[in-house]
């Protein structure tokens, strides 16, 4: 969203396509950047999460369904109700699965902490395990001592799925901790 705001400030209308699981982050970022209250509603087109496992054909079909919404953003036309997040989250948090997942990744989190990062799992609902990769003062200068967030998501998914069959995806936010 920050890139879109940079481009808007340069006079370039910018449409943002985002997975609906990030809706709370989109609203929080919009508020942080002091954007108009309706910025997210008018400029973001949502896709159902996850998208990383789509075939190219399914990915194309999702865009085909939303191309009018993308045009609407670029042309500033009034948005239609269909642009709301595709899959509103309604399921209750699954605390037991969350605790199981935390126990499974305990050793992985410990190894990350040894390198100055941390893995914190915070939510499990509707098959999505969510958390944060917190990056503090790393033991390496170039960040190479910790794996990229998307690779870590895949690793956590591979570790947890054998124990929790309902797991569909893992979403980790990368958080940079500012030293005191």
In the beta sheet, which residues pair with residue 44?
16
Q: Record the tokens describing residue 149, joined without a space.
A: 């967030």
- Position 35 contacts other proteins (CB under 8 A): yes
Distance (Å, whole) CA 129 – CA 94: 10
- Region of 73-81, 99-107, 110-118, 158-166 interacting with other proteins (CB under 8 A): 73-81
Q: Which of 23, 26, 40, 49 binds other proteins (CB under 8 A)?
A: 49
- Smallest separation, CB 127 to other proteins (Å): 14
- Position 59 contacts other proteins (CB under 8 A): yes
- Position 19 contacts other proteins (CB under 8 A): yes
Side-chain-side CA neighbours of residue 179 (13 Å): 5
CA dist list (Å): 136 to 10, 88, 93, 116, 177: 33, 33, 28, 5, 5
CA dist list (Å): 161 to 100, 114, 129, 168: 11, 25, 10, 8
- Smallest separation, CB 1 to other proteins (Å): 9
Q: Which of 28, 31, 41, 74 binds other proteins (CB under 8 A)?
A: 74
Residues that bind other proteins (CB under 8 A): 2-19, 21-22, 33-36, 39, 47, 49-54, 56, 59-60, 62-64, 67, 70-71, 74-76, 148-150, 169, 171, 174
């Amino acid at each position: 969203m920050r890139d879109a705001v940079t481009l808007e400030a340069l006079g370039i209308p910018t449409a943002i396509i985002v997975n609906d699981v990030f809706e709370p982050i989109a609203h929080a970022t919009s508020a942080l950047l002091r954007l108009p209250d309706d910025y997210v509603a008018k400029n973001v087109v949502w896709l159902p999460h996850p998208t990383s496992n789509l075939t190219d054909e399914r990915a194309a079909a999702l865009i085909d369904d939303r191309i009018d919404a993308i045009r609407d953003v670029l042309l500033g036309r009034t948005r239609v109700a269909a642009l709301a997040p595709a899959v509103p989250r309604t399921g209750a948090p699954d605390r037991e699965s969350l605790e199981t997942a935390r126990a499974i990744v305990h050793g992985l989190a410990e190894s990350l902490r040894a390198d100055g990062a941390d893995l914190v799992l915070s939510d499990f609902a509707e098959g999505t395990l969510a958390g944060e990769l917190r990056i503090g003062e790393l033991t390496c200068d170039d960040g190479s001592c910790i794996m990229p967030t998307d690779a870590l998501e895949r690793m956590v998914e591979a570790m947890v799925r054998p124990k929790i069959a309902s797991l569909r995806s893992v979403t980790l936010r990368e958080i940079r901790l500012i030293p005191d």
